[in-house]
Structure 1
């Protein structure tokens, strides 16, 4: 249980460093570390599928895309537009709403009993695959065809040749 609390502490620490980092590249690298601690938490909670998806999709694809996008844009402070008072008021209201939610969440911390998992195989990829390919095979295949047609459509829209489109 002490490993869980240590990794939770690291998650919170890296999340705070994401917000407080002055350099945006450092902020993204701290975000990678935050997602890595989430992956470790998923493994500790016996949710291997979520750990693998978090590692591959978030750390492997989305954050690398963020990093490349950040490297391509110009982050010059002189070209940054000034924020209007309406945006500042909206930011204060949003922060106040977040504070209310955090206080309400902290008020109920420790009230409930810990969750005991009765099935040690819960969250394994093997069980998810069985359910996915036994009960949900048709929706899975239809969604794969939908994603394939969307990918083909995106490639056709991105081509410069007017004869193809």
Structure 2
């Protein structure tokens, strides 16, 4: 039953990700991206990582997509009316098929290293996902976390300044 559910969610994820790049309307592309994020959150739940699933929904499907849709509406992006050149579509398709082939080849030939990490499954279950992630985020990775928040703030300020010049 799990494998059937996985196949259905994977098919929805692939279809919605294809809609992200094929929709001519940017709002429809953004909504398809939200659906892809929800499918990814479902995969996290299936991998027994509920914290990552909730974070995926709150941060990406919620906050980041609201920001993207706000920027699309603020900048008043028009739909593409010009016809795409066939050689660019062919080159992009060929590159995508090559990358897909290489990924499948890597996954079939590759294997798990079997190297033990600092935490095993029993320690993760005992302490909990959220506690371990929070401890690592606010001790070992505090500086990258804060730099990321400053970069996001700079991007928002830059988008507002660019939009103000056109108004």
TM-score by length of 1: 0.63
- Spell out the pairing of 1:42-61 with structure 2 (5 A cutoff): 42-61=44-63
**Of residues 79, 91, 97 in structure 2, which corresponds to 1:99?**
97
CA distance in structure 2 between the aligned counterparts of 1:146 and 1:24, rounded to whole angstroms:
26
Q: Distance in 1 between matches of 2:26 and 2:103?
A: 30
* Residue 78 (structure 2) pairs with residue 75 (structure 1): yes
Deviation for aligned residue 1:105 = 2.0
Counterpart position of 2:117: none
Q: Are residues 1:20 and 2:25 paired?
A: no
Distance 1:131 1:65, change over 3 A: closer
* Inter-CA distance 128–90: structure 2 relative to 1 (3 Å threshold): same
Note the C-alpha offset of 1:21: 2.4
SS in 2 for 1:55: helix
Change (3 A) 1:111 1:57: same
Aligned-residue Cα RMSD (Å) equals 4.0
Distance in 1, matches of 2:35 and 2:132, equals 29
Structure 1 or 2, whichever has the larger Rg, is 1
Name the CA shift for 1:125/1:75 in 2 (closer, same or farther; >3 Å). Answer: same
Change (3 A) 1:107 1:60: same
Could you say what secondary structure the match of 1:106 adopts? helix
1:163: which partner in 2? none
Aligned residues: 147
* Higher percent of residues as helix: 2
Contact 2:13–2:36, Cα closer than 8 Å, also in 1 = yes
Per-residue displacement from partner, 1:118-139 (whole Å, max 9, x unpaired)? 6163781122223445x53xx6
Map 1:153-164 → 2, pairs under 5 A: none
Mapped contact 2:45–2:53 kept (Cα < 8 A): yes
Seen in structure 2, the aligned counterparts of structure 1 residues 31 and 147 have a Cα distance that, compared at 3 Å, is closer
Contact 1:18 1:30 in 2 (8 A): yes
* Distance (whole Å) between structure 2 residues aligned to residue 64 and residue 98 of structure 1: 28
